Structure 1
């Protein structure tokens, strides 16, 4: 059976003006993953969304891998959902990033406060009760991602491939393969680490989730490198 290696992008620049780029730690995470993949995989193809953090993660992996990888084939279906829109539908005032920063700075644990709001916003989106307010519905997102998975497997054509994507698509793919509830998908999304690897085994129509959210490469190097945002 062949393997699809689903990689969540390295740590992005949370709280910065441009979130969609790797932080210095994100670059280091990608390089470590590249070193870890040496002698474990010789991918025939590399895929990713069209987000900068997806492309930069592949660049970091390639640096650590120490050899050329196939050029990344871009698939819009592998993009993350618009997390800013999801949060702002629950907290419209946070469309002003200065207001969001002020609100988070006013509490003892800003990261935890944001996570709580994010989870509430996600639950609202998943409910389907406010679909008219979102550019992309939860069901639309799920269909987009599972279609992209079909396309990746068709193009990989029985060979191993690396996919650079985000936590949301990885959670949806796991949900699809394991036939989990939407709530379970949300729970899975919350624990996917940056540059973690999930593995899908496939042969013809058969597909199995063999590994989920493995970040042992980071723990072996330095546990402080493990991040979830």
Structure 2
């Protein structure tokens, strides 16, 4: 069987005008996971990312210089757009500025999005789920034995919940657990596709590595 190793991007710029930029910590996390893969002699046969800068820059900082294939189905859902739609353009300041409140509110908002409980979002949950599935098929339709993908937490949560046959709610429950540059591994062959490892961060399992841990 072949492996699809999907890595969440490094820490981005939460609370800044442009979230789609890796922080210095995000670059350090990316270097650490790249170094681990080389230490394990895990050399990818194929590289795939979404089109977001934080995803492509994670791959670059991991030390892989070849240009990846790009599939926009691997892009994160637009959480800012969802919050704006739910609050009709008037997102409370505490939701924007307080990390704990932000993620608690985002969880509730995604559940409502899944249920079509509000209008105005640029993408439905059904469309998001369909494009993630299209990206999964794209990445695994290959003769490559080791496929390295860099994506985002919502995509990984969605792909994992579908592989497990879980309810749609599990997509967000998994999403919120995923650490920056965590590794989630799937095995595939033909139409078979199964989860092998979720949210692994062995590159953080040392005293110095533990200082790199982040979730957003």
Asked whether the two chains share a fold, i.e. TM above 0.5, the reply is yes
> 1:55 corresponds to which residue?
56
**Is the CA contact (8 Å cut-off) linking 2:27 and 2:58 kept in structure 1?**
yes
Change over 3 Å in CA distance of 1:157–1:69 after alignment to 2: farther
Equivalent residues in 2 for 1:1-229 (5 A)? 1-38=1-38, 39-62=40-63, 68-91=64-87, 92-94=89-91, 100=93, 110-130=98-118, 132-154=119-141, 156-220=142-206, 221-229=208-216
**Is the CA contact (8 Å cut-off) linking 1:13 and 1:21 kept in structure 2?**
yes
**Is the CA contact (8 Å cut-off) linking 2:46 and 2:144 kept in structure 1?**
no
Segments of 5+ residues of structure 1 without an aligned counterpart are 63-67
**Is the CA contact (8 Å cut-off) linking 1:219 and 1:225 kept in structure 2?**
no
TM-score, with length taken from structure 1: 0.88
TM-score, with length taken from structure 2: 0.93
How many residue pairs get matched?
A: 213
**Is the CA contact (8 Å cut-off) linking 2:133 and 2:159 kept in structure 1?**
yes
Partners of 2:122 and 2:174 lie apart in 1 by: 23
Segments of 5+ residues of structure 2 without an aligned counterpart are none
The CA RMSD measured in Å over matched residues stands at 1.6
Deviation at 1:219, TM superposition (A): 3.0
Partners of 1:40 and 1:150 lie apart in 2 by: 26
**Is the CA contact (8 Å cut-off) linking 1:7 and 1:198 kept in structure 2?**
yes
Partners of 1:153 and 1:83 lie apart in 2 by: 27
